[in-house]
Amino acid sequence: MQEKHRFTWPHKDLLDVSQLSLDEVNHLLDTGEQFHEINRRPVKKVPTLKGKSVVLFFAEPSTRTKTSFDVAGKRLSADTFALTKSGSSITKGETLKDTALTLQAMNPDVIVIRHWSSGAAQYLAERLDCAIVNAGDGWHAHPTQALLDAFSLRNHWGRSFAGKTVLILGDILHSRVARSNVQLLTKLGASVRLCAPHTLLPAGVHNWPVTVHTSLDQAVQGADAVMCLRLQLERQQAGLLPDLSEYATTYCLTARHMAMANPGALVLHPGPMNRGLEIASELADRPESLVLEQVASGVAVRMAILFLHATRKDGGTK
């Protein structure tokens, strides 16, 4: 792909959106727009990364992120190789360090990692020469999800997020998606609100650059977009939610709530959705829902991420 403007990508790795300047975010999203156009063609493949190799190292289950990175790599003509926890020596007791060194011996250009441990991506980045892309580490960060969410909103709002208000609703405590989106959306100029029951708000949240609500009726008023989060049922053994039906009654986003938001307000969800628990089923399927658009945006943005990191002159290209 020929870039319209020369821009030297300075980062070997993508670990968190906090490492990106506003110019770098916009350059990455602009690059994603070019690939988004390619994805609408009858033939959706370009030779941009022919001869490059991308390892998808997913120690946690994933459908959307893993598949979209796989599609992104293949559409750029890279060779992609998937490694999951069940298909790796992690299940035999191998350490992350030894797995990393084994992968490095195969000389990949990019390793995309999802891991249950916060900091796993940085651990690899400090030890390996190839580019490391964080596809979600513990509760810490999910930078590529935040970037694709911003890409989806930018398709409707344009480059300026100033004056826009985004409400993030749901399980903030366990959400790396929420943490990365708060950082990125505020960097882009949006105002961010959080809404959740007290038990699903992290300690120190009042020090974040956000407004915190526990009432959804109050939080949604005047919002330009509402981002629902998946209620992470697998992390609820601590009894933080004694009754799921009560949660749905109080925090499930419905058309009634969206009527209190600004006209034309958009609805997002990173998936997978628990319909009727986090978001009303009919609302998820309405035109203002960007849920499927987020999936398409994810392929374009991840194509941009692989391209920028695999072709960086003192990183992946060498």
Whole-angstrom distance, CA of residue 170 vs CA of residue 172? 6
Share of the chain above pLDDT 90, in %: 80
Binding-site residues for L-aspartate, in ranges, read 92, 176, 230
- pLDDT tens per residue across span 70-104: 999 999 999 999 987 655 555 556 888 888 888 88
Whole-angstrom distance, CA of residue 254 vs CA of residue 289? 12
- pLDDT tens per residue across span 287-304: 999 999 999 999 999 999
User: Across residues 2-26, what is the average pLDDT?
Assistant: 88
Whether residue 127 has pLDDT greater than 70: yes
* pLDDT for residue 235: 53
Q: Which of 69-73, 104-108, 177-181 is predicted least confidently?
A: 104-108
Q: Rounded mean pLDDT of the chain? A: 91
Q: Which of the 8 DSSP states describes residue 257?
A: H
Angle at 259 between CA 283 and CA 212, to 5 degrees: 90
User: Across residues 5-21, what is the average pLDDT?
Assistant: 92
- pLDDT tens per residue across span 246-281: 899 999 999 999 999 999 999 999 999 999 999 999
* pLDDT for residue 239: 59
Structural tokens at position 20: 């990106």
* pLDDT for residue 3: 47
Which residues have CB under 8 Å from 255's CB, separation 6+? 280, 282, 283, 286
Whether residue 213 has pLDDT greater than 90: yes
Domains of the chain and any CATH numbers: 17-142+298-317 (3.40.50.1370), 143-295 (3.40.50.1370)
Structural tokens at position 275: 């319909």
Q: How confident is the model at residue 121 (pLDDT cuts 50, 70, 90)?
A: very high
* pLDDT for residue 85: 61
Whether residue 124 has pLDDT greater than 90: yes
User: Across residues 142-161, what is the average pLDDT?
Assistant: 97
Binding-site residues, in ranges, read 64-65, 92, 114, 142, 145, 176, 230, 271-272
* pLDDT for residue 102: 86
* pLDDT for residue 72: 98
Sign of the CA dihedral with 74 first, then 294, 192, and 138 last: negative
Q: Which of 14-18, 91-95, 214-218 is predicted least confidently?
A: 91-95
Binding-site residues for carbamoyl phosphate, in ranges, read 64-65, 114, 142, 145, 271-272
Whether residue 317 has pLDDT greater than 50: no
